[in-house]
Amino acid sequence: MTELNDNNFDAEVLQAQGVAIVDFWAVWCAPCRMLAPVIEGIADEFAGKVKVCKMDVDGANDVPARFGIRSIPTVLFFKDGQLVDRTVGAVSKAVIVEKLNALL
């Protein structure tokens, strides 16, 4: 899993080929802690097929603002550097897997 910040986001996600997801979260966010094991499971299950990234919104200002992140957890779905989908809240693994399978 790739840890993102304002400095490496463009290189790691927007300039990447293939499918990437970015989990916007914070340590103090209870729904984020509920989603964390789901994201970790996705990283294992889709290893080599999907780039799974996390961005702590407390350590980043530019990227969350650029993508209109107003609630966390938010997961953004990218394909070849283009934003194609998003989820907001502690969604189930099935929801994320369904969105990923549609992109692969």
**Active site residues per annotation:** 29, 32
Beta strands in the chain (DSSP E): 2-4, 19-25, 50-56, 74-79, 82-88
> Which amino acid is it at 86?
R
Measure the CA–CA gap between 57 and 19, rounded to whole angstroms. 22
Measure the CA–CA gap between 56 and 23, rounded to whole angstroms. 8
